[in-house]
């Protein structure tokens, strides 16, 4: 390759490098200006948000002991409720056992009472009602005999036969 061609290629390379450096400088300038504008906007935003963040921080700092106290109280209430439920469970179990025993006793007493009522009913029927029925039967028989004797009319043989045929 000739010297002139070499120099032309080198010149073009240097010019391309210079253009690239110039483009990079412009880009860096544009990035610098954009970052300045962004910094200004962020500065305004920080000025506006800073009081809000400070108040939020103070609220969190004020609320932290209260929240911890609430957590402690909730744990105490939970433990107390657990203890109460344990006691209630024991009470219900004990009461249930007592009620079961009492129901068994009542069942025995009621069964005994029913048996005694049945025995008393049988005794009344055998000792009082049976003799009363027997006396009532004797009295009915005496009445029928007296009624028949008091009437004095006796049915004829034809009439008696006719009555017997009706039953046959």
pLDDT, tens digit only, all 168 positions of the chain:
688 898 999 999 999 999 999 999 999 999 999 999 999 998 888 888 888 888 888 888 888 988 999 999 999 999 999 999 999 999 999 999 999 999 999 999 999 999 999 999 888 888 887 888 888 888 988 888 888 777 765 555 555 565 556 555
Using alpha carbons only, what angle is made at residue 24 by residues 40 and 41, rounded to the nearest 5 degrees?
10
Q: What is the pLDDT of residue 149?
A: 79
Per-domain residue ranges of the chain: 3-145
Q: What is the pLDDT of residue 155?
A: 54
Contacts of 163 (CB under 8 A, 6+ apart): 155
Residue 22 to residue 29: CA distance in whole angstroms: 10
SS3 content of the chain, % helix, strand, coil (to 5): 95, 0, 5
Residue 28 to residue 151: CA distance in whole angstroms: 155
Closest CA to 137 of 129, 147, 149: 129
């Amino acid at each position: 390759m000739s010297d002139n061609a070499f120099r032309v290629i080198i010149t073009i390379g240097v010019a391309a490098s210079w253009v690239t450096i110039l483009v990079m400088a412009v880009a860096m300038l544009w990035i610098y200006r954009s970052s300045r504008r962004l910094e200004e906007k962020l500065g305004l935003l920080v000025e506006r948000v800073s009081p809000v963040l400070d108040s939020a921080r103070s609220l969190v700092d004020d609320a932290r002991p209260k929240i911890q106290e609430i957590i402690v109280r909730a744990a105490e209430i939970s433990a107390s409720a657990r203890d109460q439920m344990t006691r209630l469970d024991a009470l219900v179990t004990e009461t249930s056992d007592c009620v079961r025993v009492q129901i068994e006793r009542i069942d025995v007493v009621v069964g005994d009472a029913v048996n005694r009522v049945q025995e008393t009913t049988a005794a009344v029927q055998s000792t009082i009602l049976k003799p009363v029925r027997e006396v009532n039967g004797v009295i009915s028989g005496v009445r029928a005999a007296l009624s028949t004797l008091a009437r004095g009319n006796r049915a004829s043989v034809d009439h008696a036969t006719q009555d017997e045929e009706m039953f046959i």
